[in-house]
Structure 1
Amino acid sequence: MTKKTFLVEIGTEELPAKKLKNISLIFYKNFINELKKNNISYKKINYFSTPRRLALQIIEINTSEKTKKIIKKGPAIKNAFDENGNPTIAAQNWAKNYKVNLNQTQRLKNQKGEWLIHYAEKKQKKIELLLPIITEVALKNINVNSNMRWEGENIKFIRPIRNIVMLLDNIILKEAIIFHLRCNNILQSHISSKEEKIYITDAKEYPSILFKKSKIIAHHENRKEQIKYEINKIAKKVNGAIKKDSLLLEEVTSLVESPKVLLANLKKDYTDKIPQEIIGYIIKKQQKCFPIYSINEEKNILPYFIFITNIHSQNNKNIILGNEKVMHARLSDAIFFLKKDRKSKLKDYLKCLKNISFYKGLGTLYQKTLRLVFIVKKIFFYTKEINEINLIRATLLSKCDLVTEMVSEFPELQGTIGMYYALENKEKKEVAIAIKEQYLPSFSTDKLPSTPIGSVLSIADKIDTISGMFSIGEIPGPEKDPFGLKRATLGVIRIIIIKKIPINLKRIIEISLEKHNVEKSNISVIFEKIKNFFIKRLIFFYENQKYNINIVQSVLAYESMDLLDIDEKIKAISNFKKIESIILIVKRISNFLKDKHEKMISTKINERLLIQIEERKLLEIINDFNYTTKQLFIEKKYTEILLKTKLLIKPINTFFKKVQINHEDIEIQKNRVILLIKLRKIFLQITNFSYLY
Structure 2
Amino acid sequence: MKVKNLLLEIGTEELPASFIEPALNYIEEKLKEKLSAEHIPPTSVETFGTPRRLIAIAYDVPEEQPRREELIVGPSYRAAFDENGNPTRAAQGFAKSRGVTVNDLIVVENPQGRKGKYVAVRKVVEGKKTEEVLKKILPEIILSIPFKKSMRWGEKNVRFARPIRWIVSVFGDRTVEFEINGIKSSNVSYGHRFLSPEPFQVESPNEFLTQLEDRFVVADLEKRKAIILDGCKDLASSVGGKLLEDEELLEEVTNLTEFPYPILGEFDGEFLNLPKEVPITVMKDHQKFFSVVDWEGNLKNYFIGVSNIKPTDDLTVRLGYEKVLRARLSDALFFFKEDRKRRLEERVPELQGVVFHEKLGTMLDKTKRLVKLTPFISEELKFDVEKRAERAAYLSKADLLTEMVNEFPELQGTMGKYYALLDGEDEEVALSIEEQYLPRFSKDRVAETKTGISLSLSEKIDNLTGFIGAGLKPTGSADPFALRRNALGLIQTLIENELSLNLTPTLEKSEELYQEQGIKLSLSTVSETLQFIKDRLKNYLREKGFRPDTVDAVLSVSDNPYDSLLRVKAVEVLRENPEFEAVLFTMRRVVNIIPVGFEPVPISPEGKYEEELWNAFLKLKGELDKLIEKRDYRGVLLKIGELKPFVDNFFDNVMVMDKDEKVRNRRLSLLKNIADKLLELIDFSKIVF
* TM-score, scaled relative to structure 1: 0.91
- Whole-Å separation in 2 of the counterparts to 1:193 and 1:665: 94
- Whole-Å separation in 2 of the counterparts to 1:476 and 1:14: 32
User: How many Å apart are 1:84 and its aligned residue?
Assistant: 8.0
User: How many Å apart are 1:206 and its aligned residue?
Assistant: 0.9
- Whole-Å separation in 2 of the counterparts to 1:430 and 1:659: 63
- Whole-Å separation in 2 of the counterparts to 1:501 and 1:192: 57
- Whole-Å separation in 2 of the counterparts to 1:399 and 1:115: 67
Q: Is the 8 A contact 1:373 1:392 kept in 2?
A: yes
User: What is the aligned partner in structure 2 of residue 341 from structure 1?
Assistant: 339
Q: Is the 8 A contact 1:66 1:124 kept in 2?
A: yes
Amino acid of the residue matched to residue 649 of structure 1?
A: K
User: What is the aligned partner in structure 2 of residue 409 from structure 1?
Assistant: 407
- Whole-Å separation in 2 of the counterparts to 1:63 and 1:680: 66
* 1:480 aligns with one of 478, 481, 484: 478
Structure 2 residue 197 is the aligned partner of structure 1 residue 202: no
- Whole-Å separation in 1 of the counterparts to 2:79 and 2:510: 68
User: What is the aligned partner in structure 1 of residue 61 from structure 2?
Assistant: 61
Query: 1:637–1:42: structure 2 CA closer, same or farther, 3 Å change rule?
Result: same
Structure 2 residue 141 is the aligned partner of structure 1 residue 138: yes
Amino acid of the residue matched to residue 678 of structure 1?
A: N
Structure 2 residue 614 is the aligned partner of structure 1 residue 619: yes
User: What is the aligned partner in structure 1 of residue 571 from structure 2?
Assistant: 573
- Whole-Å separation in 1 of the counterparts to 2:83 and 2:485: 68
- Whole-Å separation in 2 of the counterparts to 1:169 and 1:24: 21
SS at match of 1:207: helix
Amino acid of the residue matched to residue 121 of structure 2?
A: H
SS at match of 2:45: strand
Identical positions, percent: 32
Output aligned runs, 1:67-216, within 5 Å: 67-73=67-73, 95=95, 98-110=98-110, 113-173=116-176, 175-212=177-214, 214-216=215-217
**Residue segments in structure 1 that go unaligned for 5+ positions in a row:** none
User: What is the aligned partner in structure 2 of residue 35 from structure 1?
Assistant: 35
- Whole-Å separation in 2 of the counterparts to 1:206 and 1:160: 23
Deviation per residue, 1:377-409 (Å, 9 max, x gap):
322322443433322222221111111110011
- Whole-Å separation in 2 of the counterparts to 1:334 and 1:64: 64
User: What is the aligned partner in structure 2 of residue 18 from structure 1?
Assistant: 18
CA RMSD of aligned residues (A): 2.7
- Whole-Å separation in 2 of the counterparts to 1:105 and 1:325: 80
SS at match of 1:162: strand
SS at match of 1:347: helix
**Residue segments in structure 2 that go unaligned for 5+ positions in a row:** none
Q: Is the 8 A contact 2:378 2:451 kept in 1?
A: no
- Whole-Å separation in 2 of the counterparts to 1:359 and 1:662: 56
Amino acid of the residue matched to residue 641 of structure 2?
A: K
Range with greater deviation from structure 2 (459-468 or 162-171): 459-468
User: How many Å apart are 1:72 and its aligned residue?
Assistant: 4.3
- Whole-Å separation in 1 of the counterparts to 2:593 and 2:513: 49
Range with greater deviation from structure 2 (683-692 or 628-637): 628-637
Deviation per residue, 1:442-501 (Å, 9 max, x gap):
234321012111111111122222222234332222322111112112222222333244
Query: 1:113–1:658: structure 2 CA closer, same or farther, 3 Å change rule?
Result: closer
Query: 1:43–1:389: structure 2 CA closer, same or farther, 3 Å change rule?
Result: same
- Whole-Å separation in 2 of the counterparts to 1:668 and 1:81: 58
Structure 2 residue 329 is the aligned partner of structure 1 residue 331: yes
- Whole-Å separation in 1 of the counterparts to 2:146 and 2:79: 46
User: How many Å apart are 1:347 and its aligned residue?
Assistant: 2.1
SS at match of 2:252: helix
Range with greater deviation from structure 2 (538-547 or 304-313): 538-547
User: How many Å apart are 1:79 and its aligned residue?
Assistant: 6.8
Query: 1:520–1:556: structure 2 CA closer, same or farther, 3 Å change rule?
Result: farther
Range with greater deviation from structure 2 (64-73 or 280-289): 64-73
- Whole-Å separation in 1 of the counterparts to 2:506 and 2:77: 67
- Whole-Å separation in 2 of the counterparts to 1:373 and 1:84: 81
Query: 1:133–1:88: structure 2 CA closer, same or farther, 3 Å change rule?
Result: closer
Range with greater deviation from structure 2 (258-267 or 681-690): 681-690
Deviation per residue, 1:343-384 (Å, 9 max, x gap):
222222223222222221322222221221111232232244
Q: Is the 8 A contact 1:235 1:241 kept in 2?
A: yes
- Whole-Å separation in 2 of the counterparts to 1:639 and 1:108: 53
- Whole-Å separation in 2 of the counterparts to 1:641 and 1:688: 14
Query: 1:82–1:255: structure 2 CA closer, same or farther, 3 Å change rule?
Result: closer
User: What is the aligned partner in structure 2 of residue 639 from structure 1?
Assistant: 634
Amino acid of the residue matched to residue 24 of structure 1?
A: L
- Whole-Å separation in 1 of the counterparts to 2:78 and 2:277: 80
* 1:320 aligns with one of 313, 318, 321: 318
SS at match of 2:152: coil
User: What is the aligned partner in structure 2 of residue 223 from structure 1?
Assistant: 224
Deviation per residue, 1:249-306 (Å, 9 max, x gap):
11110000111111112222222x22212111112222111111102x11x1122111
Structure 2 residue 650 is the aligned partner of structure 1 residue 655: yes
Structure 2 residue 290 is the aligned partner of structure 1 residue 284: no
Structure 2 residue 245 is the aligned partner of structure 1 residue 247: no
Query: 1:682–1:502: structure 2 CA closer, same or farther, 3 Å change rule?
Result: closer
User: What is the aligned partner in structure 2 of residue 676 from structure 1?
Assistant: 671
Query: 1:59–1:79: structure 2 CA closer, same or farther, 3 Å change rule?
Result: closer
Amino acid of the residue matched to residue 145 of structure 2?
A: I
User: How many Å apart are 1:18 and its aligned residue?
Assistant: 2.1
- Whole-Å separation in 2 of the counterparts to 1:516 and 1:598: 37
Corresponding residue pairs, total:
681
User: What is the aligned partner in structure 1 of residue 468 from structure 2?
Assistant: 470
- Whole-Å separation in 2 of the counterparts to 1:82 and 1:470: 56
- Whole-Å separation in 2 of the counterparts to 1:407 and 1:571: 43
SS at match of 2:405: helix
Q: Is the 8 A contact 1:30 1:141 kept in 2?
A: no
Q: Is the 8 A contact 2:553 2:686 kept in 1?
A: yes
User: What is the aligned partner in structure 1 of residue 525 from structure 2?
Assistant: 526
SS at match of 1:183: strand
Range with greater deviation from structure 2 (138-147 or 110-119): 110-119
